[in-house]
Amino acid sequence: MASRIALLPDHVANQIAAGEVIQRPASVVKELLENAVDAQAQTVQLIIKDAGKTLIQVIDDGMGMNSTDIRLAFERHATSKINIAEDLFALSTKGFRGEALASIAAIAHVETHTRTEEDEVSHCLKIEGSKVIDQTLSTQPKGTSIAVKSLFYNIPARRNFLKSDTVELRHIIDEFQRVALAHPEIKFLFFNNGSELFDLPPVGLRKRISGIFGAKWDNHLVPTEETTSLARLTGFVLKPEFAKKTRGHQFFFVNSRFIRSPFLHHAVSNAFEGLLKPGFHPGYFLYLSVDPKTIDINIHPTKTEIKFEEEQSIYAILRSAVKHSLGVFQVAPTLDFEQNTAFDVPYSFKEKTPIPPPIEVDSSFNPFHSSSQPSKPKKEEWEGILSGIQLDDPVIENDEIESLVAVPQTTRLFQLFHKYIVCPLQTSMLLIDQNRAHQRILYERFLGSITAKKGVSQQLLFPLKIALNPRQIEEYKQTKDILEALGFQIELKKDAMLEVTGSPDHCPPTKIESVLEHLLSGENTDRSIEHFSQADQIAKAMAKSLAIKTGDLLQLEEQQVLLDDFFGCKETSVSPFNKPIFITLDKREIEQKLS
């Protein structure tokens, strides 16, 4: 019988291995940028088309490769960065596995131009699916350009698995930002579909951060420094008052390599303890330099995790340095954490227009089907149940009564735990989650506005100017139509300033900036529900930002309006995030419990 075992051909082995290193266009971006940095480039350009699906090109002015190296570079385990096993413990470069280029060349069309200082001519090599197609000479400047086209052309399953351009571009921007933040001394340029997304001159870390996230960041940062025999720490933390609700501004670099470390994160969070309002996350850009021998970064294929020899000491250094810098800059005492949130309630009875939403919500947009959900009382049922109940609260004027026809008209409503509205009925009792009920109301209204493109807009007395960073500008371009349909009157002016002259109904002027920043952060997109429409996600994000919160004190009138609006909703059983909104306690249930 013939032998059953055979060695896999190289190109098959390469394709399989490639899957581990290259998951999406952003992985290619990361590897090419890191190679350029390792080649000691001073200027690095990233050019992409169609979120990297059509083209990813990185051009550097680094040391280049000679005629032998250019061929070796695409062999598996070919690296110039380590020679002997001991080198692994003293790494100063990003790469060392010699896998990236071999992997990329196995699953794409790759064209490389490169020239060293010594060579008079440059070398050009074309590879498709690990096969060399062409090798020629040309006259390019010193440095290397690698263009990766038709990524995953020979792995349709991978290609089909890629997400929308918006999502893939977001991943690419994430990788770009990490490398650019790790190396503020290098100039980085980023072009997307022919337009410039980032132009980051080599001007120090503070300017690099504001170059990426927006000019105003300059004033929001507090320097953090510490030097011990074990480690040197530099960088910035974001002043607590500018903390964000998203975690997108948390960066650790160890020996100039971006690292994910729940452990280091914990040390910083600990230092911020008591300084952040609930739901807000610290922002930081922290750089640790340690002896490479005292860390192990070789435990994860994409190399973003780390182990320290002296874990406890690193934790202590980090925590105390961050605490100290926050203290020195005296940011803590200027904060007013005791602010009464009751004054912030975005939902006021006074502002309420007593007419039903003018636009019918398109129920086909509704991602939830109520068949398996808790029973859903209809507005008419309410009217039936409640017709006998008299409104006898003297606070409510007669003309207001007319606007409350559909409300469970009872003065016996009350708020429980600053969280629920308790609504007693004739033979049962409802417990309604105020936050979820309001999310449902706002979600249906916003979705209705977007669908009908007729969002009601309130003119602002004073136009608002918000500085956008390049990433937010990209999100803005993708979502402008939807934002306008919602009722935002916005225009992108020069210098990346977004001018807001009008805001949607239900979005109080004080909230405009934070809502827009949230919408344009790209982070409200729940990746697990990507197949929902963009309109749906934006309506959800708006509802989440603007809804009455748990902890908000509601006046009786506000409770009543909330219930009225809530029972006018198309769907009442679950919130836009699929959480139950209310429970019913039957009189009989109560009697049984007390029998």
User: Using CB under 6 A as the criterion, which residues of the chain lie in contact with ligand ADP when the complex forms?
Assistant: 31, 35-36, 38-39, 60, 62-65, 73, 78-81, 95-102, 144
CB of 94 to ligand ADP, least distance (A): 7
Q: How far is it, in rounded angstroms, from Cα 213 to Cα 249?
A: 9
Which residue number, 78 or 574, has a Cβ lying nearer to ligand ADP?
A: 78
Q: Which does 346 bind (CB under 5 to 8 A by kind): ligand ADP, Mg ion, none?
A: none
Secondary structure string (H, E, C) spanning 23-61 = CCHHHHHHHHHHHHHHCCCCEEEEEEEHHHCCEEEEEEC
Which residue number, 95 or 240, has a Cβ lying nearer to Mg ion?
A: 95
CB of 116 to Mg ion, least distance (A): 18
Contact criterion met (CB below 8 Å) for 159 and 151:
yes
Rg, the chain, Cα only: 29
Length of the chain as a residue count: 595
CB of 44 to ligand ADP, least distance (A): 9
Q: Which residues pair with 237 in a beta bridge?
A: 222, 284
Q: How far is it, in rounded angstroms, from Cα 566 to Cα 135?
A: 69
Which residue number, 141 or 580, has a Cβ lying nearer to ligand ADP?
A: 141
Which residue number, 70 or 541, has a Cβ lying nearer to ligand ADP?
A: 70
CB of 75 to ligand ADP, least distance (A): 8
Q: Which does 79 bind (CB under 5 to 8 A by kind): Mg ion, ligand ADP, none?
A: ligand ADP
Which residue number, 179 or 543, has a Cβ lying nearer to Mg ion?
A: 179
- Kindly indicate which of the ranges 31-39, 69-77, 356-364, 398-406 contains the residues binding Mg ion, using the contact rule CB under 5 A: 31-39
Nearest residue relative to ligand ADP (C-beta): 95
Q: How far is it, in rounded angstroms, from Cα 61 to Cα 141?
A: 8
CB of 507 to ligand ADP, least distance (A): 48
Give the pair of three-digit tokens for residue 42: 């001073």
Q: Which does 81 bind (CB under 5 to 8 A by kind): ligand ADP, Mg ion, none?
A: ligand ADP
CB of 131 to ligand ADP, least distance (A): 17
DSSP string, 448-459: HHHHHT---EEE
Which residue number, 99 or 475, has a Cβ lying nearer to ligand ADP?
A: 99
Strand, coil or helix: 381: helix
Which residue number, 64 or 346, has a Cβ lying nearer to ligand ADP?
A: 64
CB of 10 to ligand ADP, least distance (A): 15
Beta sheet of 497-504, edge-to-edge order: 457-467, 497-504, 489-492
Q: Which residues pair with 147 in a beta bridge?
A: 57, 111
Which residue number, 79 or 545, has a Cβ lying nearer to ligand ADP?
A: 79
62 is a site residue for Mg ion (CB under 5 A): no
Q: Which does 288 bind (CB under 5 to 8 A by kind): Mg ion, ligand ADP, none?
A: none
Q: Which residues pair with 431 in a beta bridge?
A: 422, 583
In the list 15, 35, 93, 116, the residue contacting Mg ion (rule: CB under 5 A) is: 35
Q: How far is it, in rounded angstroms, from Cα 190 to Cα 188?
A: 7
CB atoms within 10 A of CB 504: 24
Give residue for tokens 């922290």: 286
Strand, coil or helix: 12: helix
Q: How far is it, in rounded angstroms, from Cα 381 to Cα 387?
A: 10
Give residue for tokens 């973003």: 304
Q: How far is it, in rounded angstroms, from Cα 155 to Cα 475?
A: 30
CB of 297 to ligand ADP, least distance (A): 13
Q: Which does 26 bind (CB under 5 to 8 A by kind): Mg ion, ligand ADP, none?
A: none
Contact criterion met (CB below 8 Å) for 424 and 412:
yes
Nearest residue relative to Mg ion (C-beta): 95
Which residue number, 61 or 564, has a Cβ lying nearer to ligand ADP?
A: 61
Which residue number, 65 or 485, has a Cβ lying nearer to ligand ADP?
A: 65
Contacts of 317 by beta carbon, 8 Å cutoff, 6+ apart: 226, 228, 230, 231, 233
CB atoms within 10 A of CB 556: 16
Subset of residues 94 to 123 that bind Mg ion, contact rule: CB under 5 A? 95, 100
Q: Which does 246 bind (CB under 5 to 8 A by kind): ligand ADP, Mg ion, none?
A: none
CB of 182 to Mg ion, least distance (A): 14
Q: Which residues pair with 250 in a beta bridge?
A: 284
CB of 517 to ligand ADP, least distance (A): 36
Which residue number, 36 or 482, has a Cβ lying nearer to Mg ion?
A: 36
Q: Which does 73 bind (CB under 5 to 8 A by kind): ligand ADP, Mg ion, none?
A: ligand ADP
CB of 98 to ligand ADP, least distance (A): 4
CB of 30 to ligand ADP, least distance (A): 10
Q: Which does 212 bind (CB under 5 to 8 A by kind): ligand ADP, Mg ion, none?
A: none
Q: Which does 168 bind (CB under 5 to 8 A by kind): ligand ADP, Mg ion, none?
A: none
Which residue number, 141 or 327, has a Cβ lying nearer to ligand ADP?
A: 141
Q: Which does 64 bind (CB under 5 to 8 A by kind): ligand ADP, Mg ion, none?
A: ligand ADP
Give the pair of three-digit tokens for residue 151: 């990524």
Give residue for tokens 């008079």: 120
Q: Hey, what amino acid is at 252?
A: F
Backbone φ, ψ for residue 176 (5° rounding): -60, -45
Give per-residue burial for 311-338: e unless 16+ CB within 10 Å, then b: eeebbebbbebbbebbeeeebbeeeeee
> Where does this chain bind Mg ion (CB under 5 A)?
35, 95, 100
